[in-house]
Amino acid sequence: MATLDDEFLEQVRAVIARHLDGVESFEVAARNLATVIRSFPPAEIDPALLPHVPGSAKQISLKHLSLPEWMDPRAPYIPTFTIRPLFFAPGRPPEQEQRAIGLLEEAMRLASSGGTDAA
């Protein structure tokens, strides 16, 4: 069963793909993406769907430490779960992923301003 986050991400990726495939200009895609962003209540969008910041870690592993482990620097580090980056243009070259992030940033700016200012 698809979640609201899955539906949101599917719509975001569809708009991004149309732009990267040359079907929509940057401006048109940004406006369409802003409409998608505004159509989902902010409280229901998973924060993990925010763009990956270039240069940051590609994967983060975290482990819940007990107080004795926290206090003992010699305690072994064994990750209990892994966080992986979210891609907005999966299967495409890194340059297109960067273009997708730029498009999403512009769409978020438009969505927050109501889309009334000229781009």
d(CA 22, CA 33): 15
The residues, any chain, with a CB within 8 Å of residue 100's CB and separated by 6 or more, are: 16, 19, 20, 88, 89, 92
Write down the domain spans for the chain.
4-53+94-113
Amino acid type, 105 = E
Tokens of 96: 């297109």
pLDDT at 20: 97
At 50-102, the pLDDT tens digits run 555 555 555 666 667 778 877 777 766 666 666 677 889 999 999 999 999 99
Mean pLDDT for all residues in the chain:
79
Number of neighbours of residue 18 by Cβ within 10 angstroms: 15
pTM: 0.63
